[in-house]
């Protein structure tokens, strides 16, 4: 009795497509390796979105507010660099935060653009800022800064930071010699700081930077002594003497 030939058992290869044997499928190890590689690839960091307030509406009635308005616009541009890539985008944004006569002035300019009368400052942010200062800013910035500096005085009951910011803002518009700035800065300080500077060993500071840092140090020690007096138990509140401050900073 002849035996029937036994057909060989062919196991299916999991890496070969059954519908199309000529197509080889990737192994499970390769697939896992590719997934791991994809997950571990370094992705570009996403910059956090900085929350910045939109500018206050500028109507042109107070020339001193123009500087503040343009500064707010600049802060907003810096917080959204992907949006404000061109000067045209910046100008369009700024124009949406004006009202009153500033809005009327821009409306006239845009209507002229429609009639073929072009204005270069509508396409350049530096030119736009210059035009805004010409029409709605302080007429004589240098004279205004000199006048403000001549009348600037520090409130004895305030921290010196308020006085310093106002002084630096005005002095930035002036081309005075350093000795003139030192004189004006010292003259605007209250007696509680002037007295200590004038009684220190040696002469008064000859450079503005030294005078500036000395006044800050004296003011900081003055307020620190105030806090110590309030924290002391069973002590009678009293005014901080100039001698105490002078000794603490010498």
Quick: pLDDT tens for 52-102: 789 999 999 999 999 999 999 999 999 999 999 999 999 999 999 999 999
CA distance 230 to 240: 11
- Single pTM value for the model: 0.63
Count the alpha carbons within 13 Å of 46 in the hemisphere toward its beta carbon: 2
Query: Which band of pLDDT confidence, cut at 50, 70 and 90, is reported for residue 170?
Result: very high
| pLDDT for the residue 53 | 87
What are the structure tokens assigned to 230, written together? Answer: 């309030």
| pLDDT for the residue 104 | 96
Choose among 159, 211, 205, 220: nearest CA to 185: 211
Residues contacting 236, CB < 8 A, separation 6+: none
| pLDDT for the residue 15 | 47
CA distance 69 to 103: 14
| pLDDT for the residue 48 | 60
Quick one: what percent of the chain has pLDDT higher than 70?
A: 72
Alpha helix locations (H) across 59-159? 64-79, 87-95, 100-114, 125-136, 141-150
| pLDDT for the residue 52 | 78
CA distance 148 to 84: 35
Whether 197 and 205 have beta carbons less than 8 Å apart is answered as: yes
Whether 240 and 226 have beta carbons less than 8 Å apart is answered as: yes
- Dump strand ranges (E) for the chain: none
| pLDDT for the residue 209 | 95
Whether 189 and 154 have beta carbons less than 8 Å apart is answered as: yes
| pLDDT for the residue 229 | 85
* Terminal C-alpha separation, the chain: 124
- Mean pLDDT (the chain) is 83
């Amino acid at each position: 009795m002849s035996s029937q030939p036994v057909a060989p058992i062919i196991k299916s290869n999991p890496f070969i497509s059954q519908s199309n044997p000529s197509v080889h499928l990737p192994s499970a190890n390769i697939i896992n390796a590719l997934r791991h590689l994809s997950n571990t690839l370094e992705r570009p960091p996403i910059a956090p979105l900085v929350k910045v307030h939109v500018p206050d509406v500028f109507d042109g009635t107070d020339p001193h507010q123009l500087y503040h308005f343009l500064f707010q616009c600049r802060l907003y541009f810096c917080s959204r660099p992907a949006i404000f890539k061109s000067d045209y985008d910046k100008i369009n944004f700024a124009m949406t935060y004006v009202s009153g006569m500033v809005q009327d002035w821009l409306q006239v300019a845009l209507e002229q653009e429609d009639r073929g009368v072009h204005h270069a400052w509508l396409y350049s942010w530096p030119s736009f800022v210059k035009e805004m200062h010409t029409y709605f800013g302080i007429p004589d910035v240098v004279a205004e800064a000199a006048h403000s500096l001549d009348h600037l005085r520090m409130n004895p009951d305030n921290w010196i930071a308020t006085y310093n910011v106002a002084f630096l803002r005005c002095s930035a518009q002036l081309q005075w010699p350093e000795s003139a700035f030192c004189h004006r800065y010292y003259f605007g300080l209250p007696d509680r700081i002037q007295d200590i500077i004038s009684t220190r060993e040696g002469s008064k500071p000859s450079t503005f930077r030294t005078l500036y840092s000395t006044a800050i140090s004296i003011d900081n020690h003055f307020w620190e002594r105030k806090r110590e007096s309030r924290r002391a138990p069973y002590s009678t509140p009293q005014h901080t003497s100039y001698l105490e401050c002078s000794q603490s900073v010498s």
